[in-house]
């Protein structure tokens, strides 16, 4: 029987590549986008693909997308909580609405989407929830207070959720990508605003930005994340974490092997701080 996956955040990047990857593998795909779904010519042209509107910060759109997917395909076997973004910058200069939005999208959104599919999966006695975490849920970089805070939260909530959902036959997994060539980098680049009255931060921000730009050449392609998601969705194991990208493999291993002072010193040195 053909399986079905619901993916949040299919407008671009990892979500879009993963939607096409699963469709090519013969799955039914519920590809969700924040914009008008009828305008997405590429995804609408795919067989066995339903393009629907879903904004993870709006519960009514989540409920409607889940219902539409079940009506179209009869079941949802896998939920991929992919939608997310990175808010980087000086905390003191960040307005409250940006703080709340980072956690609304990266943390509250996946929780609400998971809640929405659980009655269906519980009734069926099976299903898989896959959350997109990050190597940034295991390690941190300067200026990432909000982003890393949100991804550390994804790590914790995913691990804890795996206990209770095992009781109803539902698996819970997470993907930890490294630096991936998506529009995420462009989003990050717009976040480095320093309040004109907080000039003390300016040299620090300039140094960190330069360090991150140097790292840009090490981006991996999003297909490697799609492949890790495929493994998580199909290996029928109780494995919890799947790392995607050589950089993620290396830096997560290094973090495990280091005490805090050693790790922090390494990051400062790499950033030229």
Given a contact cutoff of 8 angstroms between Cβ atoms, the answer to whether 175 and 133 are in contact is: yes
Neighbours of 67 (CB within 10 A): 13
Between CA 15 and CA 70, with CA 133 as vertex, the angle to 5 degrees is: 50
On the 0-12 / 13-18 / 19+ scale of CB atoms within 10 A, 76 is buried
β 78-81/4-7 pair status:
parallel
CA 84 to chain centre: 5
Q: Could you confirm whether 151 is annotated as catalytic?
A: yes
Strands 4-7 and 28-33, how do they pair? parallel
The one catalytic residue among 20, 134, 147, 171: 147
Q: Is 147 a catalytic residue?
A: yes
Task: Specify the 3-state DSSP secondary structure of 29.
Answer: strand
Distance separating alpha carbons of residues 176 and 248, to the nearest angstrom: 7
Q: Which residue in 151, 171, 173, 201 is the catalytic one?
A: 151
**140: Cβ–Cβ under 8 A, 6 or more apart, which residues?**
148, 267
| Integer Cα distance of 270 and 247 in angstroms | 14
Residue that the structure tokens 């989003």 belong to: 187
Reply yes or no on whether 134 is catalytic: no
Half-sphere exposure for 229 (CA within 13 Å, toward CB): 30
- Kindly name the residue from 133, 150, 201, 242 that is annotated as catalytic: 133
Catalytically annotated residues: 133, 147, 151
């Amino acid at each position: 029987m053909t399986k079905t996956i619901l993916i949040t955040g299919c407008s671009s990047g990892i979500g879009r590549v993963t939607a096409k990857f699963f469709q090519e593998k013969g799955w039914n795909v519920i590809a969700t986008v924040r914009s008008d779904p009828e305008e997405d010519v590429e995804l609408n042209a795919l067989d066995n693909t339903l393009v629907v509107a879903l904004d993870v910060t709006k519960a009514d759109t989540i409920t409607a997308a889940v219902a539409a997917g079940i009506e179209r395909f009869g079941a949802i076997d896998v939920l991929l909580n992919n939608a997310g973004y990175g808010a980087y910058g000086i905390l003191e200069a960040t307005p409250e609405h940006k703080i709340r939005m980072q956690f609304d999208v990266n943390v509250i959104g996946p929780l609400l989407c998971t809640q929405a599919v659980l009655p269906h999966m519980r009734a069926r006695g099976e299903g898989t929830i896959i959350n997109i975490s990050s190597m940034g849920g295991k390690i941190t970089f300067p200026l990432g207070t909000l982003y890393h805070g949100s991804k550390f939260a994804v790590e914790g909530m995913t691990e804890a959720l795996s206990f209770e959902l095992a009781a109803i036959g539902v698996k819970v997994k997470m993907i930890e990508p490294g630096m991936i060539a998506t529009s995420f980098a462009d989003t990050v680049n717009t976040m480095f605003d320093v309040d004109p009255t907080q000039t003390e931060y300016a040299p620090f921000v300039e140094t960190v930005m330069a360090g991150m730009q140097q790292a840009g050449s090490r981006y991996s392609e999003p297909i490697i994340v799609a492949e890790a998601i495929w493994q998580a969705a199909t290996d029928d194991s109780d494995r919890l974490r799947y790392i995607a990208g050589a950089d993620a493999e290396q830096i997560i291993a290094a973090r495990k092997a280091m005490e805090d002072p050693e790790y922090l010193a390494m990051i400062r040195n790499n950033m030229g701080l």
